[in-house]
Structure formats: C-alpha cells, structure tokens
Amino acid sequence: MSFAEYAAVRHPTPYVVEVARDGARLLLFGGRHSSQPADPMFDQIEAAFAKLSPAFALHEGTPPAVEIDREIGVLRRQQQAILHLLKPSEKPETNRRNIMTKEKWTAIMRATGFTDEEMNRWHVEFERSAPEDHQQFLEYLHIGAEEVARIREWSRNGGVKH
C-alpha cells in the first residue's frame, strides 16, 4: 500500500494503548494525520504526554518534527490575531491603536505563560514570516523607531545580538 493510499484510510481515532511493566510505561497514541495546529487532537496528545511525563518520546512523521510544525502553526495563528487587533476601528473613538502598549502586551504574554525564550522565538518567527506586519505590530505597541529597528535586527539574526 502506498503512503497516499494509507493516508486516505480513515481509522477511528484517537486510540490510546498504555502498557506498564516492571516500573516502565509505554503510551501509544494513535491519531489521524493532521498539520492543523488548532486540531483538538493535539491538545489530547499534550494531555497524554503531561500525564505520562516521558523521559523520551518517538513520533511518526517526516522532518521537520511535528512539534516544530505545531509551534510555528501556533505562532502564525497568534500573528493573525494580532493583525486583527491592528486593524483600525471604523469609529475613531474606539480605535484599538490607542489601547495597547509594550508593557501591557508583555504582561499579557507573561500571564498566558510565555517565557522570555518563547517571546524571543515569537519575534524571530514573526520577523521571518511577515516582516512588514512585525514592524506594524511593534509600532502599534508605541515602541520608538530606534528600539523597533533594534528588535527587528535582533529578530532577523535569529535572536542573537551582534
């Protein structure tokens, strides 16, 4: 059976097989193939991994690794939400551009669980995938031109200061 033929087969999912023996545990999580970060199946996989707390994990897939694809997908969805925020309101008195600052945005990111490393990775990916939108977002946060230039340069260099 070719990969294309197998990919067209639909199995009932998810299926979970847990095996424990002599203090060792194995979890097999069978799910449908998906590259959609919002697919609820990924939340089920994360919950299963959190419960098991594996020392190591193997996954089926082709490079790049599923985890990286999902992270990038999540970042892109976050970028889309931000771009929605950037759209000026039809009513000038409720224009969203007057609401957000760098400090408020950073507090929101931290409150939702983002670490400094994750925020840095977010900027790098935003600059790589949508540089003009990244510029617009930084300006939306009322960040000065010099700091915007530094952030974008740092992001273009993969989060490394030169």
The pTM of the whole model exceeds 0.85 = no
Q: Write the pLDDT tens digit of every residue in 100-145.
A: 889 988 888 887 778 888 888 889 988 988 899 899 889 988 899 9
CA atoms within 13 A on the CB side of 25: 13
Number of neighbours of residue 137 by Cβ within 10 angstroms: 21
Average pLDDT score over residue span 154-161: 84
Q: pLDDT of 29-78, one tens digit each?
A: 777 777 777 788 878 877 877 777 666 566 555 444 445 556 666 666 66
Domain boundaries, the chain: 3-52, 66-156
Please check whether residue 13 is in contact with residue 50, taking contact to mean a CB–CB distance below 8 angstroms: no
